[in-house]
Structure 1
Amino acid sequence: MPPAGWGSSSRESRDAVRRTRKCQAGVAEDSQEVAPQARVPGTCLLTIRILQAHDLPSKDLVTPSDCYVTLWLPTASSHRFQTRTVKNSRSPIWNQSFYFRIHRQLKNVVELKLFDQDLLTKDDTILSVLFDTGTLRAGEFRRDSFSLSPQSKERLEVEFRLQSLTECAEQLVNNGILVARELSCLHVWLDKAEHQKESEGRVQLVVPGSWEGPQEASIGTGSFCFHCPACWEQELNIHLQDAPQEQLKVPLRAVPSGQLVRLVFPTSQEPLMKVELKKEDGLRELAVRLGCEPCAEERAFLSRRKQVVAKALQQVLQLEGDLQEDEIPVVAVMATGGGIRAMTSLYGQLAGLRELGLLDCISYITGASGSTWALANLYEDPEWSQKDLKGPTEFLKTQLTKSKLGVLAPSQLRRYREELAERAHLGHPTCFTNLWALINEALLHDEPHDHKLSDQREALSHGQNPLPIYCALNTKGQNLTTFEFGEWVEFSPYEIGFPKYGAFIPSELFGSEFFMGRLMKRLPESRICFLEGIWSNLYAASLQDSLYWTSEPSQFWDHWAQNRATLDKEQVPLLKIEEPPTASGRIAEFFTDLLTWRPLAQATHNFLYGLHFHKDYFQHPHFSTWKDTKLDGLPNQLTPAEPYLCLLDVGYFINTSCPPLLRPTRDVDLILSLDYNLNGAFQQLQLLGRFCKEQGIPFPPISPSPEEQLQPSECHLFADPECPEAPVVLHFPLVNDSFREHSAPGVRRTPEEKEAGEVNLSSSDSPYHYTKVTYSPEDADKLLLLTHYNICNNRERLLEALREAVQRRRQRGPPKPE
């Protein structure tokens, strides 16, 4: 059966996509950069002629090289093409031409590699070239010579020719960063010819570059389906497995769209095989939203939430008259990670905000790692912030203090195995993180919870609670550290996506399979515990990441900042020549691989898979503001080229959940920074400040005084009056300051209560260390009371920050009409 999704006959899957369009509505209105769904001219024929090479070195020092050249242009073909091999020549001549159909709205970067063939070991790379075909003009004929440097003798000579094609226009949708191309869907039916005997012969069908990949079956067993970019020069290959030398090749461009084509495959052995083909072309509805603005559902929520916020502000600030819509500030709570400690502390602080009447002033709550566990629990109740939190807190204390030995009992292990087997059967990739998710759920709950992220929309239906956003990092599974490649991913009840790429999907589709922005195979939405396993994923760490966690982070950040400074001066390469690795380079590469290998990497189907890059993606303001990696100038190696995402805890880069709040489209005025780190009250906030400075993101300087560094208090304010775009940050580190002497704001402790004020927050022997999964009742009470007190004891500072936020909005005035 063909996969559910575009081009399939599954009405259920098509209806599912339509139901999710409520979140997708207004793709064009979300971003002015999104192109209309019309046929866009700009298709060209690119001819690359590999001419010859000169003065090539001999890698084996005995005989001249046996050389060949490979060509890879992923925006035009899935093939890596290769010239013939010229034996024993230091100046080989090929004179071979290769043809590619490209679209000029895409970033078409061709990779040319010159190899020395070796029959005993891996072929040696002599020269590697990345060439941007966007430098060619239509009708231009160019001959280039590539060498490692002006002083190098070895060089490769190549001719390029670009010709416009008028007969082929293509439907494109883009947001200025990513481009979704038109797809073709090929349906194939196989049957034996009439009057032939029954046969058990099997065949393999392949359309190179299709989402489905090779498919195998017996003749007459059903239909097959292949999806691939419509303008690619593709062909259907049918192989008889009992006779590999016999195959049928059908160029797909020769198959008329929408018409049934019947063929007979004459083989040397009976039976003959009948082949029926039908191709469907056209741009169908995208399931990936390409736009950099918040989705329509989030904007509608904010409109509802503003009414709640306005009423709460009027009450706590005792304002005269009603607040106008443009006078209502956007206030957010940002919670860091920290395991059970973070979860417990967030409960205490949210209870404090509710007691002060300030919880209804909040529009967003973001969480990372352990703080996401608290949010996931609270949002199971659609009215949680309108109720007293004593009930949820008592349940939390029960889970904190219970014995955790049962999570690995034989009966539990059997349950884990059964659920993981069911997930694998449905089509989810198998990885250790899924097992961690189930163990983590057992640590925090008595029974499995069937709650899902999309279920939290009910808690936002009339603006009654802040919008929760959960954070993770997308990384590479190997070869690169988190500092070299780490992209922020945000999860909300409405959408999951990459702000960097302006690409999002409805939360219920996360984990399903996508290609070129279309939903190909819908999988049931995962229980939220599997997302919690991602948000607190400690098991996708590499050795390098682990070294970062156990050492001084600033040394890693100094190295990262140097790499960032280099990248900021670099544009997408018009021409980039890579030097082949030397013997010492290969040794260094081996140790790099050892440091960056993620042995228990998490894997999720990549919903960006197959999407291409717009020709001007690197200059797009949202992409360039949020560029995070040294690969950003190399589109062929970025996330849309990967079939799977590798997601992990943000703490391996910065222990913060702030980046979603810094998107200019969210326009946050005030951030309540709730920090649960035991190693430095300002360390992670200062790293965030460095990150924002390097990225050019408006953020106040984090410069605590020496006295504050030595003796941090419960609350610190950071602002930048010179930069009105920067939010004000009210920072609450996890400290035990006046709580030692006061049981409540203004109420001094009696001698009998002194012990209750001693809370051990040392980084070495604290009972709240992130490795601790069970607390004593006394320790649980102390942490809950401390964090509740630290909020309530700073009521006046909170109110003053809210007054300032309202005043800033009033000074800004109403938005200008567009």
Structure 2
Amino acid sequence: MRLHLPWCWRGSEGMALPTTGSSSLLSVRVLKAHGFPSKDILTPSDSYVSLWLPTASSQEFRTRTVRNCRNPVWNQTFHFRIHSHLKNLLELKVFDQDLMTKDDPIFSVLFDVGTLKVGESQWKSFTLNPQGKEELEVEFRLQSLSACPEHLITNGVLVAREFSSLDIQLQKIGSIQDNSESDGRVEALVSGSYEGSHTLTPGTSPVRFHFPTCWESELSVKLQSTSQEALKVPLRSLPSGHTVRVSLSAKEEPALMMQLKTEKGPEELAVRLGFGLCDEEQVFLKKRKQVVAKALKQVLQLQDELQEDEIPVVAIMATGGGIRAMTSLFGQLSGLKELGLLDCVSYITGASGSTWAMASLYEDPDWSQKDLAGPTTAVRAQVTKSKLSVLAPSRLQRYRKELKERAQQGYPSCFTNLWALLNEALLHDEPHNYKLSDQQEALEHGQNPLPIYCALNTKEKNLSTFEFGEWVEFSPYEVGIPKYGAFVPSELFGSQFFMGRLMKRLPESRICFLEGIWSNLYAANLQDSLYWSSEPDQFWDRWAQDQIILDKEETPSLKMEEPPSTTSKIAKFFTDLLTRRPLAEASHNFLHGLHFHQDYFQHPHFSAWKGTKLDGYPNQLTPVEPYLCLLDVGYFINTSCPPLLIPTRQVDLILSLDYNLQGAFQQLELVGRYCQQQGIPFPPITPSPEDKALPQECHIFSDPESLAAPVVLHFPLVNDSFRNHSAPGVQREPEELAAGEVNLASSGSPYHYTKVTYSEEDVDKLLSLTRYNICNNQEHLLQALGEAMQRRRQRNRQGEQ
């Protein structure tokens, strides 16, 4: 296992830095309210206020309930220990208590504690709107604490805090021969801990809790036979590194002794917090540049050797498209290999179906150095075989056995795991015991491009993918979410993490389970499906509008919500219906337990990749979730481009391989709109009306005014000159014309994404077409490589100035 030491947060790469900030005591005095509505005509509200500050405690505190009163007075004070470097957002909610049904919310307030000054008191009166009658009065006070400061590790967006462990062992006092019928079991709970609770039996091995060091956490012990609380211990009162013995006794229980020992947790993180490239990728790029330089000299017929800083970074970007994408990528890679251009490529990214081709190729550590006829023949056999056997009883029994074993290892159960096994059976005759980290062998000498696979992290309910979708990248070295600058080694993806530390290492998944995630169509909700089956413009216009609103709001210093009316309850019902994901994917969240830096929203890397309705509300973002919910990127944009737009990768040329049957430029235009909205350098995608009506095999897009924007050479899936040419410059004979007819209609095509079996004739046509479209555009490819090399030199000169 690789553990990543704290890095430094310096410059634009935003690497993580150990930092120390001041701790403060926040006192919140809930005073009174007035103007609250009655829950019915005759009876006033039974009101209480809940307080939740997740950076200080996992508990939600609440005032007492004041019954039958429209103007309740609580006058209760609550205390929170906070850290000045964290984004501390306090949520206050007023409820009308109901003993028969769920308590009705009256309104809620989100208050930014960072607006308070140490040593001062501040009185606030919260109202829903200027005309509103409901009003809540609260007094805040912030005091400095002289206790030892807490040490943090941050990349400027996320923060890892100190954490500790508590070991507990339970023993019976006196003779082991006890006539009591009870076995002395107790339940131990530590609020805010990773484990939550443990059941202890006398004489068994110790159990362990992990909890934030700075929180006012308590150990609560209950006797299982009576459910009576036998012990409550503030964990801060226990001396670190020393064993403390505490006795428990009850009338119906044998006397029990508990041994308690707290220890400081490790400072090293298993999660890498940083926006730069990992060490392994940087080493790979140095090796790959030597391969690229040699290939460029040959294909461009250069006289002089290229210096290291002159070598452009070229990437292949492949979209999704099921079996069609997998087959087409084999054809295009064969074309690049034939032209001697495959060694010019440093990255290859894929989504959905194109990841199936990539995963298959990288099982051979030297695949790009060999003739691709063998792998192409193998994939042809899989595409044309009958798929009926995937549901044979013997196969179903094997699926069930493996899913059971996977659950026993600690992986969450979800439908995506079954889809992964079905998908593997569609693509292979036998299970492949191959893992993502095994692909590092194919990169050891820089002999192949670095593969990166894409997915989206979404919410399980309440929000569509357009309202909440975060790019996730998978490489043989790391898996991470660039928006947060958080990555874990690929072999640890799926293991259990808390506060940046590894809690439980699970066996690395076979790559088929990742392929199931990358092509996960089944975690979609009705709203996503509506987008999939319609024109996406209306969804994109709404997304762009939400972005404008988000930029204006930034992080909220004060947010208030109105109580749900009858109309809003009906709207919520339909929202739940449209956005709930009945077959949601679940992977252990490696961000779980991390907090946000006070200035996270202004961080340039976070700003470049923000794009959800919740980005201004850290209490609702991914680190609070125990699981990730991962989905095929096609439900947002059918592209694998985002990893190539990370500034530290400095990609100069993107070969865009598009496998969509509808709209030759549609998805690339959406990428352009996305980048323009986010301020990410990308060339304008402005095809002419003629090109849209009759797209050609290759189109080049560049931005002469921005050296930071890559050149994009776009290859849509079209049948243009292939109709009349069997090879570049070779006219078809009359009897060969039928071989040039490839049905790429948006409906009725044998290559529709729902088709999992192709005829031999159809698969041969698709392989020939995609290979031809590459080979027939050799001049465009060489021209783009030359332009990328020139732009790299200009960028270097600009950097020197």
Structure 2 residue corresponding to 1:568, chosen from 546, 551, 570: 551
Give 1:514's match in structure 2, choosing from 487, 490, 497: 497
- Are 1:148 and 2:128 an aligned pair? yes
Q: Look up the match of 1:753.
A: 736
Partner Cα distance (1:560, 1:36) in 2: 34
Per the alignment, do residues 170 and 282 of structure 1 end up closer, same or farther by CA in structure 2, a change over 3 Å counting?
A: farther
Identity percentage of aligned residues: 70
Counterpart residue identity of residue 531, structure 1: L
- Any conservation in 2 of the 1:67–1:87 contact (CA below 8 Å)? yes
| Aligned residue number for residue 108 of structure 1 | 88
> How many Å apart are 1:195 and its aligned residue?
2.8
**1: CA distance, partners of 2:362 / 2:31:** 64
Correspondence for 1:37: 18
> Following TM superposition, by how much is the alpha carbon of 1:25 offset from its aligned partner in structure 2, in angstroms?
8.6
Q: How does 1:673-692 map to 2 (within 5 A)?
A: 673-692=656-675
Q: In structure 1, which of residues 77, 80, 83 is the aligned counterpart of residue 57 of structure 2?
A: 77
- Change in Cα spacing, 1:461 to 1:285, as seen in structure 2 (3 Å) is same
Residue 452 (str. 1) matches residue 452 (str. 2): no
Distance 1:817 1:216, change over 3 A: farther
1:425 aligned partner: 408
Equivalent AA in structure 1 for residue 43 of structure 2:
T
Asked whether the 8 Å contact 1:171–1:283 carries over to 2, the reply is no
- 1:11 maps to which residue? none
The SS at the match of 2:648 is coil
Residue 284 of structure 1 is matched in structure 2 by 267
Query: Contact 2:683/2:711 (CA < 8 Å) preserved in 1?
Result: yes
Which of 100, 106, 112 is matched with 1:126 structurally? 106
Alignment of 1:610-621 (within 5 A): 610-621=593-604
Indicate whether 1:275 and 2:261 are aligned.
Answer: no
Letter in 1 for 2:115: T
CA, structure 1 residues 723+36, in 2 after alignment: closer, same or farther (shift >3 Å)? closer
Deviation at 1:167, TM superposition (A): 1.3
For residue 796 of structure 1, report the CA deviation from its aligned partner: 0.2
Q: RMSD across aligned C-alpha pairs, in angstroms?
A: 1.4
Distance 2:18 2:171 in 1: 38
Give the counterpart letter for 1:302 in structure 2.
Answer: L
Deviation at 1:558, TM superposition (A): 1.3
1:181–1:283 Cα contact (<8 Å) kept: no
Distance change >3 Å, CA 32–CA 600, structure 1 → 2: closer
Q: Distance in 2 between matches of 1:444 and 1:812?
A: 43
Query: Residues 735 and 559 (structure 1 numbering): CA distance in 2 closer, same or farther, change over 3 Å?
Result: same
- The residue matched to 1:381 in structure 2 has which SS? coil
TM-score (norm 2): 0.98
In structure 1, C-alpha distance between the alignment counterparts of 2:395 and 2:350, rounded to whole Å: 28
Q: Which amino acid aligns with 2:18?
A: Q
- 2:488 paired residue number: 505
**Letter aligned with residue 715 of structure 2:** F
Task: Find the residue that maps to 2:254 and give its secondary structure.
Answer: coil
Indicate if the aligned counterparts of 1:185 and 1:279 stay in contact, CA closer than 8 A: yes
Q: Secondary structure at the match of 1:272?
A: strand
Alpha-carbon distance, 1:769 to partner = 0.4
2:511 aligned residue: 528
Q: Give 2:160's aligned residue.
A: 180
User: Matches of 1:469 and 1:29 in 2, distance apart?
Assistant: 26
d(CA) in 1 for partners of 2:456, 2:563: 31
Q: Residue in 2 aligned with 1:797?
A: 780
Q: Please say if residues 196 and 272 of structure 1, whose CA atoms lie closer than 8 Å, have aligned partners that are also in contact.
A: no
- CA separation in 1, counterparts of 2:353 and 2:203? 54
Aligned partner of 1:727 in structure 2 is 710
C-alpha displacement of 1:268: 2.5
**SS in structure 2 of the partner of residue 271 of structure 1:** strand
Answer yes or no: is 1:602 the counterpart of 2:585: yes
User: Matches of residues 212-251 of structure 1 in structure 2 within 5 Å?
Assistant: 212-251=195-234
Residues 405-804 of structure 1 aligned to structure 2 (within 5 Å):
405-804=388-787
Following TM superposition, by how much is the alpha carbon of 1:561 offset from its aligned partner in structure 2, in angstroms?
A: 1.3
1:17 deviation in Å? 4.1
Name the CA distance, whole Å, in 2 between partners of 1:508 and 1:400. Answer: 30
In the alignment, is the contact (CA less than 8 A) between 2:169 and 2:202 conserved in 1? no
- The aligned counterpart of 2:289 is 306
**Amino acid aligned to 2:295:** A
Write the letter of the residue equivalent to 2:432: H
Q: Report how many residues are paired.
A: 798
User: For 2:590 and 2:119, how far apart are their aligned partners in 1?
Assistant: 37
Residue of structure 1 equivalent to 2:173: 193
Q: Give, in angstroms, the shift of residue 287 of structure 1.
A: 0.3
What CA distance in whole angstroms lies between the structure 1 residues aligned with 2:333 and 2:602?
Answer: 41
* TM superposition shift of 1:241: 1.0
* CA shift for structure 1 position 62: 2.1
Which structure 2 residue ranges, 5 or more long, are not aligned?
A: none
Task: Please state whether the residue corresponding to 1:805 is helix, strand or coil.
Answer: helix
Shift, 1:246, TM fit? 3.6
For the 8 Å contact 1:54–1:156, the answer to whether it is kept is: yes
Query: What code does the residue aligned with 1:80 have?
Result: E
- For 1:149 and 1:349, how far apart are their aligned partners in 2? 60
Q: Where in structure 1 do 4 or more consecutive aligned residues deviate above 3 Å? A: 24-38, 196-199, 814-818
The residue type paired with residue 658 of structure 2 is D
Note the alpha carbon deviations across 1:115-139, whole angstroms, 9 max, x for none.
Answer: 1112222211111000010001111
Measured after TM superposition, the shift of residue 28 of structure 1 is 6.1
Distance in 1 separating the partners of 2:256 and 2:52: 35
Contact 1:25 1:296 in 2 (8 A): no
1:751-797 alpha-carbon deviations (Å, 9 max, x no partner): 11101000000011000000000111100100000000000000000
Q: Is the 8 A contact 2:26 2:142 kept in 1?
A: yes
